[in-house]
A and B are shown apart, each in its own frame.
Chain A
Amino acid sequence: MLRRRLNRLLGVDERRVDSRTIYVGHRSSSTNEAFIPPKFCDNRIVSSKYTVWNFLPKNLFEQFRRIANFYFLIIFLVQVIVDTPTSPVTSGLPLFFVITVTAIKQGYEDWLRHKADNEVNKYPVTVLEQGRRIRKESEKIKVGDVVEVEEDVTFPCDLILLQSSRDDDTCFVTTASLDGESNHKTHYTVPDTEKDLETLNATIECEQPQPDLYKFVGRMHIYKNDQEPAVRSLGPENLLLKGATLKNTQRICGVAIYTGMETKMALNYQGKSQKRSAVEKSINAFLLVYLCILVSKALVCTTLKYVWQGKPGQDEPWYNEKTQREKDTNLYLKMFTDFLSFMVLFNFIIPVSMYVTVEMQKFLGSFFITWDKDFFDPEIKEGALVNTSDLNEELGQVEYVFTDKTGTLTQNNMEFIECCIDGFQYKYRDASSDLDGFCVTDGPLNKVQEKAGREKEELFLRALCLCHTVQVKESSEQGQGQRDQVDGFGLDGEVLPPLREQRGFIASSPDEVALVKGAMRFGFTFLGLESKNMKILTRNNDIEMYELLHVLNFDPVRRRMSVIVRSKSGDTLLFCKGADSSIFPRVRQEEVERIRMHVERNATEGYRTLCVAYKNLSAEDYAQADAGLMEARLALQDREQKLMAVYNQVETGMSLIGATAVEDRLQEEAAETMEALQGAGIKVWVLTGDKMETAKSTCYACRLFQRNTELLELTVRTLEDGGRRREERLHELLLEYHKKAVQDAPPVKSGVTRTWSSANQDYGFIIDGATLSMVLNSSSESNSSRYKNLFLQICQNCTSVLCCRMAPLQKAQIVKMVKNSKGSPITLSIGDGANDVSMILEAHVGIGIKGKEGRQAVRNSDYAIPKLKHLKKLLLAHGHLYYVRIAHLVQYFFYKNLCFILPQFLYQFFCGYSQQPLYDAAYLTMYNICFTSMPILAYSLLEQHICIEVLLDNAALYRDIAKNGMLRWRPFLYWTLLGVFHGLLFFFGVRFLFSNPALQDNGQVFGNWSYGTIVFTVLVFTVTLKLALDTRHWTWINHFVIWGSLLFYVFFSFFWGGIIWPFLKQQRLYFVFANMLSSVSAWLVIILLILLSLLPEILLVVFHKPRGPRQKLVQSNVGDHRSPRSAARPLLMRTFTDESNTVI
């Protein structure tokens, strides 16, 4: 692999750095030259990490890179090398268990990857070689091979489309498995290639592989007999990506240009960066504390040992002489090994099993999210998806939610509402209530009021019909399952008269479909694209044909797209549609004012607006534009920039004809969800690329802004108000807002960020992208950080923040800024589109919505849910429970190991600091693996200290655990003290009992192993019962594991002590347990100590009695919570639930 890569690098160095040359069908351009086929990597996909041979060493190496595993390995090695009190088995066995389980899991995953790889690599493909069609395995495809692909087959490598079975030299492709877009994309063959691929003699020059799916630049040289080679430009529209599937086309032929690991799909395959949860950080901090405890214990014991040995007669009494070797050992070496021995003796305080249990808890626990039927959406027939189980508990810690607007707060389900032609408003009435008006089969709808000239109207409607990239779903092809091909927002759901209205539209953006459908309502129907001719049906039932000359694609920088068409009459027209801000500067200014009013009004009402403009191109204008476009498209380098320049040049001097308004409905229960989040003390920030007015109205609709919320605006408009320099104004405004929101606001108690009563003034903050970049990248360095601070402080004191006109990267910037602010709050990003990916990756927790805009967000998220409303349960119920569970798990684990090891530590004071273990090796090993592991695992999976319904009804409960409330130092100290108390009690309780070791009724005495067994029995019972006391939710599983593991302990002890084990050197526990049970005193002391240890716990619970005030709160909330909802329904409360069953 490395060598191959090295070779490639060297090869690249020898030839040209940034491009590769491919000989189509391995035919060299000139027969005279010796043809040396260039070396490229083969078409094998390797996603697996291991092979059979390197699995063991590589996997072990990777596992021991984890610091905890390494620590236990060291302990194990110390035990093997040094003469230590416990046998290496005691720590080796758990470590072996952990390593084996992990290795099996990883091995299984890798086996699955191997299988998937093989499936892809061994897939049979057809390759054209010397005129014959040869079946090959996919992995044997070489760069330059001509590959034939049939319908519904996935492309085996990245291909340049040479030939299609369709007449119009196109083919359709769906990239669902690449980026999740299920619509059909059109790809074109290289123009003017020969029909006979046998004789095609061509080379392709293209860039070296790069991961961007949507970028490709190349050039094809076609050699014909003795003619000058013809050159064709190649772009993404000629490139068929591995992983995409051929649709609607019988077969295509293409030449392989990137193979195997160099395909764009393989280059895009990368592990997501590891996110670590706050709980994990707490664990590490606690570990450090326990490591200190461990080291100090060992140090204390070592020191005391040598002090004690200094007294005469103690070190080596006559009855206990040292071996010769011990006598010979150097004193300092002895001290060191003693220290190590103590470390080994006490090392159980850092439990290896905790990692296993935490991993298991996270892994198993995440199933509850996938299993939750409340997350199941019947529309898309999917439930929630968990991409990582590492962050379950983080869902209970969220302080900031960053949400996208389109598709997240709103449905991204567009409906054409109205348009404005030449300043007159046209509204399609009864659109949602009355279907009859729609059913008039022939032609024009007279509801279009004749205000503007008919000519203008028709021009506008033609523009709507022509200026798009929508495809018509061909209803003639019966073989296709129609529903699943259409993106879901075509017309397929509607009850319409037969024939043309039944056609579905396919587009990558729902806006376009809405517009085309809008035009259809007004009588202009787009019939489809036939060999570069767009057919439209006009109001008068005439079919008009327009030749599609160029499509100037949409891009987010220009924020507009255009088409150039030629009408039958020979006029060349350019239609352009785009955001007002990008259209207005490019049209005649006198036209703007009339329309601007409408656009702004529409935006305030929460509609998405687009402006439409056109331009009549003269012949020479067009010739110039055509040449420019051609040239730019052929360019190998900087094609994008060149294209952009031509686009900008062409799209000038247009005349504005109108604007459209499209409504995007709110998601179901969007407002309720947002309200619940705010009630939970979570601050919601809306980050959107949309216009301020639109976004603001959505915020009102979602009740992020209430009526009494005072809005603090920091936008380009407010900055320009003062008429002064923007910087100064920014400074001034920031200070003013800061004074208002931060200094004058009453100090809020930590933890409770916003009270339910609206006694305090609520602030909402609005900022736009341009201003944000001013704040973040201020001219002077000192100002920058100061502004940033002011900005953050203002934002933190506002209930909600709206950031509009954001670029995707700015979204991530905001998240990062908040994430790194004081107190490092936990952030959550939720979004559905590719533009949210950056913020999803940036935030602590990324949530993807399985929306309409492809699956990038879902792929990159940590959790994916079908709808926004599911966020409420995900955070308030699942997150809360997971957090409580894991926090308790962690604290309990440290506690139980502390009171496990403390008696062993104390015992050193009574055994001459000789590292004599108190417990038998079997108990030492089994304590964490068997006796006490299952109850806590069951608890950490099933516990519901408050039941789910109550959690959902009372968002405020979420605040109880805010800021890592259960894993702060105070609770940690409490648990530690509890562990110390229990440890002391266990040891000294038994110590006093053993002041007379004659404990049996026949006068016989107990020895040291009985001592340890009594302590251990008390320990196991107390620790388990302590958990039982904490359990608030006793399912049969809890009962089973708690009582089961206690029973198991008893049975195991009998069993372990009941047999002379031939493999043991010493039969230490032989009948110790049975004898212990025969002693009444032992029973009595066990009962006494268990009860005494649990007594403070019981008292604490009783005295605390936390339920009282909370219940009051619950009741009062229910009261005043519902009323404003119905009373003050804002204008835009048109959620899906309100107008159920409306047909779009």
Chain B
Amino acid sequence: MMATSYNAKDEDGRVTVCGPGGGPLLRGKKPENTALKQQRLAAWQPVLTAGTALPALFAVGLLFIPVGVGLFVTSNNIRELEIDYTGADASSPCFSCSQSFSWNSTRPCTCTVPFYLEQPYESNVYVYYGLSNFYQNHRRYVKSRDDGQLNGNEKSLTEPSKECEPYAYRDNEPIAPCGAIANSMFNDTLELFYNDPNGTKIQIPLNATGIAWWTDKHVKFGNPGGNDQNLSAAFQGTTRPVNWRRPVYELDSDRGNNGFVNEDFIVWMRTAALPTFRKLYRIIGKKDNVVPTLPRGNYTLEVVYNYPVRSFEGRKRVILSTISWMGGKNPFLGVAYIAVGAVCFFLGVVLLAMHHKCGNRNGDGDISN
């Protein structure tokens, strides 16, 4: 009726005008007929159905179970021996050392731990030290380092970063290397002897190189003024960390493994992920194919006990381990792979049964093309 026909006039004052400038109106322009604008882009429309999922499940099952078995076997073939030498128990050979520990003692305390290898270690043997309840991943600890200084930056050497506090200066002298990580570097000395059945004690040569990441040793870490310098001169004007017995330029007699590029140091500086961790200490190289690297028999571990862990209820271990292509011994991966593979396979069977039972009621339910 007229009420609606005349409504241009029956305004209730609600007229809104599109901006004093007047809004632009898209007039007379037909939208382009392109696939994108019309939402008609060619598309692959996969629909997950039993038909596609079943083969995938079986494939995963068939692939994972052998891989898992392989991993499990590999892991089982790795020889590993763990020796706890914390000295927490009275029966432990290192008990006295751990008890009598003092930062100021000048005479190192040594203890000897005997052990027996039941099986010969054929290939390269890797010696790890392990610490427990040691929070290398504590935030205050992780950030307490100066990567500039460790890279050989002269300025950072004399002016360590604030992050290193409270291990940045000692008696107004800059600490090199500064920070809590460096300060708490693991400094037990571990030596291994083979007790030959004929009574002689043969020291096993431990290789101290090749234990740190190549890039760390050659790029990330560097001595001030280059590695070929006289290091004691290069570190002039700095002082050793509080808990160290030697300055950093006396870590090793080998020039290429001294100062900041000392591999023990570099390994320590890579902070561990978890409070229980192990770090690579030494490598026992394989001599030849005939003799095993470590034959079966009695061995002695000689420890220079410098590193206190009892104050925070920590443990110290030595681990002798061979290595496979997957790294150290860890049954987790193998078990996980077998389990996942089995579950997939089982689900595949269940699904197949269901699929078979229900029949192809809806075709394969695939409406895509």
Contact = CB atoms under 8 A, between A and B. Distances in A.
B275 A556 contact: no
Interface of B: 1-22, 25-33, 37-39, 41-50, 53, 56, 60, 64, 67, 71, 124, 126, 128, 134-148, 151, 161, 163, 165-167, 180, 183-184, 210-213, 215-216, 219-220, 243, 267, 270-275, 277-280, 283, 308, 311-313, 321, 323-330, 332-333, 336-337, 340, 343-344, 347, 351, 361-362, 365, 367
B5 A509 contact: yes
Contacts of B275: 910-912
Given A47-B20, A313-B313, A1004-B280, A1105 B13 contact: no
Given A321-B180, A1033-B43, 18 more contacts: A178-B15, A179-B15, A269-B16, A319-B183, A367-B37, A370-B31, A371-B37, A385-B26, A412-B5, A554-B6, A837-B14, A912-B138, A912-B275, A1001-B324, A1003-B126, A1060-B220, A1081-B333, A1091-B60
A993 B279 CA distance: 15
A1036 B41 contact: yes
| Prevailing SS type, chain A contact patch | mixed
A141 to B, nearest CB: 15
A39 B361 CA distance: 84
A1105 B340 contact: no
A1008 B145 CA distance: 15
A451 B135 CA distance: 110
A382 B26 CA distance: 7
Contacts of A1000: 327
Interface stretch (A99-107, A206-214, A1125-1133): A206-214
B16 A272 contact: yes
A1143 interface: no
Given A373-B30, A1032-B45, A997 B272 contact: yes
Interface string A37-52: 0000000010100000
Nearest to B134: A319
B327 A991 contact: no
B265 to A, nearest CB: 14
Given A313-B313, A1033-B43, A1111-B367, A508 B326 contact: no
B63 to A, nearest CB: 10
Contact of B340 (A385, A915, A1091): A1091
A1033 B215 CA distance: 44
Contacts of A404: 4
A776 interface: no
Contacts, number: 414
Interface-centre pick from B33, B39, B141, B324 (highest chain A CB count, 10 A):
B39
22 contacts: A318-B184, A319-B183, A367-B37, A373-B37, A382-B27, A412-B5, A554-B9, A608-B5, A688-B4, A690-B1, A856-B8, A856-B11, A910-B137, A997-B328, A1004-B212, A1008-B137, A1008-B271, A1032-B46, A1035-B43, A1088-B64, A1098-B56, A1105-B365
A560 interface: yes
Interface string A363-385: 00001101111011000011101
A510 B365 CA distance: 54
B31 to A, nearest CB: 5
A1099 interface: yes
B4 A689 contact: yes
Q: Is the interface of B mostly helix, strand, loop or mixed?
A: loop
Query: A-B pairs with the 6 shortest C-beta distances?
Result: A116-B21, A319-B184, A998-B328, A1011-B273, A689-B3, A371-B37
Nearest to B165: A323
Nearest to B308: A318
B279 A1005 contact: yes
Contacts of B67: 1084
Interface stretch (A160-168, A793-801, A1067-1075): A1067-1075
Interface string A558-601: 01100000000000000000110000000000000000000000
A1084 B20 contact: no
A781 to B, nearest CB: 27
A578 B37 CA distance: 48
Contact of A1007 (B30, B39, B124, B270): B270
B3 A835 contact: yes
Nearest to B21: A116
A1034 B16 contact: no
Contacts of A385: 25-26
A313 B311 contact: yes
A1113 interface: no
A911 B165 contact: no
A808 B15 CA distance: 13
Contacts of B140: 320, 322, 914
A959 interface: no
B332 A993 contact: yes
A373 B64 CA distance: 51
Contact of B39 (A177, A368, A689): A368
A1038 B42 CA distance: 11
Given A578-B2, A916-B137, A998-B280, A270 B39 contact: no
A1004 B281 CA distance: 10
B273 A318 contact: no
A490 interface: no
B340 to A, nearest CB: 6
A914 B340 CA distance: 34
B124 to A, nearest CB: 8
A313 B312 contact: yes
A910 B7 CA distance: 72
B8 A376 contact: no
A998 B126 contact: yes
A1080 B325 contact: yes
Contacts of A992: 332, 336
A860 interface: yes
A910 B134 CA distance: 11
B369 to A, nearest CB: 10
A405 interface: yes
A389 interface: no
A849 to B, nearest CB: 13
Given A269-B16, A916-B142, A1102 B45 contact: no
A316 to B, nearest CB: 9
A809 interface: yes
Interface in A944-975: 944, 947-948, 950
B288 to A, nearest CB: 20
A371 B17 contact: no
Contacts of B142: 916, 1008
